[in-house]
Amino acid sequence: MKTEEKAMKKLLIVGLLICCISAMTIPQASAATKLTYWTLFSGGDADFMTAMVNEFNKTHSDIYVDEAQNAWGDYYSHLLTALVGKKGPDVCIIHTSNLPAFASKNVLMPLDSAITKYKLPAKDFGVKLWAGSKYDGKQVGIPLDVHPFILYYNKDILAQAGYMKDGKPQIPTTQDEFLNFLKNIKAKTGKLPLALESNGFGGYRSWYAFFAQAGGKLMSANGQKMTINNQTGIKTLTWWSNVLKETGANKLTYDESVSLFSQGQAALLMNGVWATGSFEKQKGLNFGAMPFPSLFGGKESWGNSHNFVIPKPAKVDQDKIKATITFIDWMTANGEKWALAGHIPSRYSVLQSEKFKNLPYRPEYAAQMDNIAYLPSNIHMLEIEQIVADAIPAVYSEAKSPAQALADVEQKCNKLLK
């Protein structure tokens, strides 16, 4: 605890410095190559990003990055309209799952030649992250991070139930043991053993992780039909639905699940890495974080990434392309600064650095980076993900059977894929 408390104090100091830096405007050097940069970040993420951009500008007199923070709600529609009209930024952020929708409209510049020409170290990036940023065999994005679904745990509750050893949580690795583990926690502590946003995206993301661990694929290799209403899909969804019902976590909202864990009323929480920052500010919460539980053979978890992309300009300016790659290289090479927001940096060199290893919590779940079950690269993925996320909670609330819910998903999604 003393080590984590010291690390937390350092992190809070860094956070205060970032807030101060974020409020400052770094003047543009008159001879600098100017880059316009659009982001979709908000809250703490936005503060950390702005601080990094300001530091880049301060240390690069020949390049000036003008960051514009956009509202999350209409970011993608606004961005697409701008890119189609050739009025977009020089560089911007797009999620991995959204890359196909943009790349298919021919508004993103393939980056392979620029990566080679300006010596961006491609092999330093997470293998799955790098592959996930391709479209039609071409590199259209450069990953900044990965933000997977992970497992948060309350050390005090697990210790009370007898599941902490040498400061480490003793999480079972088989389905039967995991269910018994949850039941024992409730019996010995009276606390909710597991919290999860079961009635929204959390319900789908948790099932999808287990489905991927069992070898399941969301759709066929050619992307023409869904492949979830099968033995693997039904087995994993049936088991997971039963676990949630037996432990009382089958009807929670996102806010309810986070509140239960942050107030010390739940032993475990399944959520994204983005929750780390808020939990470490919660006074008296003695928690840890780790990769998503491996219960079906594999170690996969749902995940997505923020990518830097270069919109296809009306006229290519090689000075701007070079400056943009320099900016992206610096931002990703300094990923430990972005990790303060909770995300896992995209580059191995950052993960192996002392600066990252000395951060609290993040190194504990960083191994998830190499075990990400990205959604398939498909231009309809936004609609498909929403359909799946809407359908799965009906199983948890017992409104539909697993087979019925998965069949409904396939029917709706296959109409999009034809």
Rounded to whole angstroms, the Cα distance separating 271 from 269 reads 6
Give the pLDDT score at 418: 85
- What end-to-end distance do the CA atoms of the chain give, in Å? 55
Give the pLDDT score at 30: 55
Give the pLDDT score at 7: 45
What tokens were used for 252? 């929670």
Give the pLDDT score at 201: 95
Helix axes 175-189, 231-247, angle to 10 degrees: 10
Q: Could you tell me how many helices (H) and strands (E) the chain has, helices first?
A: 20, 16
Q: Decide if pLDDT at 29 tops 80.
A: no
Residues 384-397: pLDDT tens digits?
A: 999 999 999 999 99
What tokens were used for 404? 């019925």
Portions of the chain given CATH number 3.40.190.10:
2-143+306-372, 149-302+377-417
Scanning 85-200, the segments in alpha helix (DSSP H) are 99-103, 112-117, 127-132, 155-161, 175-189
Q: Decide if pLDDT at 183 tops 90.
A: yes
Residues 257-286: pLDDT tens digits?
A: 999 999 999 999 999 999 999 999 999 999
* Closest by Cα among 98, 304, 294 to 213: 294
Give the pLDDT score at 20: 46
Residues 35-83: pLDDT tens digits?
A: 999 999 988 899 999 999 999 999 999 999 999 999 888 999 999 999 9
- Diameter of the chain measured on Cα atoms: 68
Residue 33: CB atoms within 10 A of its CB come to 19
* Region class of 197: left (phi > 0), else alpha (psi between -120 and 50), else beta: beta
Q: What is the rounded average pLDDT of the residues 308-328? A: 97
- Does an H or E element contain 364, and which? helix 362-365
Chain-centroid distance of CA 418 in Å reads 29
Show the CA angle centred on residue 341, arms to residues 201 and 62, nearest 5°: 125
Residues 107-145: pLDDT tens digits?
A: 999 999 999 999 999 999 999 999 999 999 999 999 999
Residue 175's SS3 state is helix
Report the chain's C-alpha Rg in angstroms.
Answer: 22
Q: What is the rounded average pLDDT of the residues 226-240? A: 98
CA atoms within 13 A on the CB side of 314: 7
Give the fold, CATH level 3, of 149-302+377-417.
D-Maltodextrin-Binding Protein; domain 2 (3.40.190)
CATH 3.40.190.10 fits 2-143+306-372, yes or no: yes
Helix axes 381-391, 201-213, angle to 10 degrees: 100
